[in-house]
Amino acid sequence: MTKAKSAFTAKWVEAVAATDRRQEVPDPSLKGFYLIIQPLPGGAKSWAVRYKGHAKYTIGSVAAWKLADARKEAGRIMRAYDESRDPRAEKKEASSDDNLVENVLDEFLKRHVKAKNKGRTAYDVENTINREIRPKWKGKMITAIRRRDVVNLLDDMVDRGVPTMAVRTYALLKKFFNWNVERGILEVSPMAGLKPPATVEARDRVLSDNELRWAWLAADEIGWPFGPLFKMLAVTAQRKEEVAGASRAEFDLRAKEPVWVIPPARAKNGREHLVPVTPLAISLIESLPVINDSHLLFTTNGETTVGGFSKAKERLDAAMLKIARSEARERGDDPDEIKIAPWVLHDFRRTAASGMAAQGVQPHVIEAVLNHKSGTIKGVAAVYNRYDYDQEKKRALIGWERHVRSIIAAKPGSNVVPFQIRGTESNEIN
């Protein structure tokens, strides 16, 4: 019979050999904690607890439970016995459908997110959960989520080029698991001591005129639904979620002055936002197909807004590079020398804002176009100033559209007059 002379180590557990007899090896450092080794030919290894005369409690296989985690679980089981609780009943409860990750996420949304946050914040959190977390962990028990699961989820996001979203998801998961601990669903959070997956620096990327033209042509190549959606981002300067979730009922295109009204529930700052709709935007909207009589502008099933932005952005990038290199080849340049610096969809918004500033649009009008809480008009004046600058916004967007049209119409290699970006009028766009 195998005996351990000192506290279990991962290396020792891996090396200890199975025999023709079943073995129960106690851990000298934790009384009641055992390594169970099944007889050959199987030789499977698992963790178990024998404590104060209670029946053996099996924690799980060595393959599924690391030594440190199994030792913590053993301590939890022993505390349950000391407190006259039944860890078997608790284990059965933990394995109920109520503790499936997707069901716990639903409770978290209902009792925490939507109960404590305004409509737009709750909307964004639910989108992140449905896009980044639920698909990865659906069908798993909340008690089975380990630190490695969290690390893998966040690393995957960083690897596909969305470090900012990875950091936001990290913060969301910390709240989610802490909420689970507070409600007694978990004993400890798998994120304890885990650092953010990336360092996010303030962005100042603005697309050049050529890059914006390549993006427009690339949008034509990738087609419905993301091609028109990306064009709407470029023309309207509104946020990705606001464009992607747009409803036909929000638009009045037949009015003397066509307008798009983004309701408070869908606006990031929770404030209704009036966006003048320019002719190019109208033509984009009127070209969109109606799916199953749906009110949504961008939907493929008539019920939900489109998803899969990361893959669509990858397709856009690939099409842009293809177009840029084709133009280089036609000029007689080396196409392999053509590179496009990394950028994100939010840079459409920053590009439009910088472009309007270059045309002489005042900062407070740009803020009004972007639906920012004004940083230009401050103090008491900001409280009493309820003027929304509708006409100024319209002129700013018309001017921006005029430049976009000039870029689209320009021939490759032509001297499109570039914007002179004014550093003093550049604002952080969000």
Question: What tens digit of pLDDT does each residue of 276-320 get?
Answer: 999 999 999 999 999 999 999 999 999 999 988 989 999 999 999
Q: For residue 414, what pLDDT is reported?
A: 55
* pTM recorded for the entire structure: 0.58
pLDDT tens-digit readout, 190-201: 998 899 998 866
State the architecture of 98-182 in CATH terms: Orthogonal Bundle (1.10)
pLDDT tens-digit readout, 68-124: 999 999 999 999 999 998 888 877 766 668 889 999 999 999 999 999 887 778 888
pLDDT tens-digit readout, 27-47: 999 999 999 999 999 999 999
| Fold assignment, 10-88 | Double Stranded RNA Binding Domain (3.30.160)
Neighbour count for residue 71 (Cβ, 10 Å)? 19
CATH of 209-425, one of 1.20.140.10, 3.30.43.10, 1.10.443.10, 2.120.10.80: 1.10.443.10
pLDDT tens-digit readout, 143-193: 889 999 999 999 998 888 788 889 999 999 999 999 999 998 898 999 988
Q: What is the mean pLDDT of the chain?
A: 88
Neighbour count for residue 153 (Cβ, 10 Å)? 19
Spans of all domains in the chain: 10-88, 98-182, 209-425
Written as six digits, the tokens of 274 are: 């009036």
Which distant-in-sequence residues (6+ apart) come within 8 Å of 231 by Cβ?
216, 219, 284
